Amino acid sequence: MPLKIGELVLLMSVDSSYLTEVRKGELHTADGVFALENLKRKNFGDKIRTHLGNEFIIVKPNIKDILEKKVKRLPQIIMPKDVALILAYTGISRGSNVVDIGTGSGFLSIFIASHVDPGKVVTYEKERKNFEVAKKNILASRLKNLRIKLKNGLAGISEKNLDLITVDFKGAEKFVKKANKSLKIGGYFVAYSPYVEQVKAVVSEMRKVGFSSIMTVENIVREWRVSDHTLPEPSGIMHTGFITFARKAK
């Protein structure tokens, strides 16, 4: 089916890629100028050239493309490597319902919403400035199952029978009792904490409340440079945060 006006496309070559939408006008890039209206007659999988003759294939962008290229990042986001662990270790899937407290720029919420769609994700952000950034990012993600509230999570979690509650800021221990009331039996509470002291505080509270399967992990991903002299990349992100998981047991 030919591409429609407003549709998002990823223009991908071996060396570079650009996210844009089908519209009038031009996209100026380091590889040359794309006449975007020409996309209208194309399909995903077709090719398009810039005015310099550089060839790109038209790809349907996924949520990671959109997060990398279309969404504004506030200073601290949860990186894909850690999101992957949260999705896999909690086993949430299509139809799961989630509350993410502390939206920030919305990276975690957007990843989760894309994963559980048509399940619902509600995210709370207490700072108006961050709320406004996240609102635009959620709009850019085009997800319809993600709702943001300008709300301090300490005021309480109104949603019930949840599969997962996530907290990504200092003081996650203050949410353990509240989470226990809003989760379904077997549902997960996940705290993301850069420092071990925060991990100890949240784990202690999880034990007091009677959560099951408490586990803290750190996910270190090392990229390798593959050539005739293959070796690990000399630099990269090592520590991002500790992820603590626990399941509601009563």
In the bound state with ligand SAM, the residue whose beta carbon lies nearer, of 62 and 152, is 152
CB of 109 to ligand SAM, least distance (A): 7
Residue 87 φ then ψ, to 5°: -65, -45
In the bound state with ligand SAM, the residue whose beta carbon lies nearer, of 117 and 127, is 127
CB 177 within 8 Å of CB 153? no
Residue nearest to ligand SAM (CB): 104
Rg value, the chain, Cα: 21
CB of 94 to ligand SAM, least distance (A): 21
In the bound state with ligand SAM, the residue whose beta carbon lies nearer, of 9 and 71, is 71
DSSP 98: E
Extract the tokens encoding 102.
């502390």
CB of 193 to ligand SAM, least distance (A): 10
CB of 132 to ligand SAM, least distance (A): 11
CB of 105 to ligand SAM, least distance (A): 4
On the 0-12 / 13-18 / 19+ scale of CB atoms within 10 A, 217 is exposed
Q: Give the list of residues 6+ apart from residue 97 with CB closer than 8 angstroms, or none.
A: 116, 119, 120, 121, 159, 161, 162, 163
Tell me the C-alpha distance between 186 and 146, whole Å: 23
CB of 91 to ligand SAM, least distance (A): 20
In the bound state with ligand SAM, the residue whose beta carbon lies nearer, of 22 and 243, is 243
Nearest to 190, CA basis, from 248, 110, 106, 130: 248
What is the identity of the amino acid at 87? L
Contact positions toward ligand SAM, by CB under 6 A? Answer: 76-78, 101-102, 104-108, 124-127, 130, 152-154, 168-169
CB of 250 to ligand SAM, least distance (A): 25
Max CA pair span of the chain: 65
In the bound state with ligand SAM, the residue whose beta carbon lies nearer, of 152 and 204, is 152
In the bound state with ligand SAM, the residue whose beta carbon lies nearer, of 49 and 73, is 73
Tell me the C-alpha distance between 80 and 64, whole Å: 8
In the bound state with ligand SAM, the residue whose beta carbon lies nearer, of 31 and 168, is 168
At 63, is the secondary structure helix, strand, or coil? helix
Extract the tokens encoding 11.
């223009």
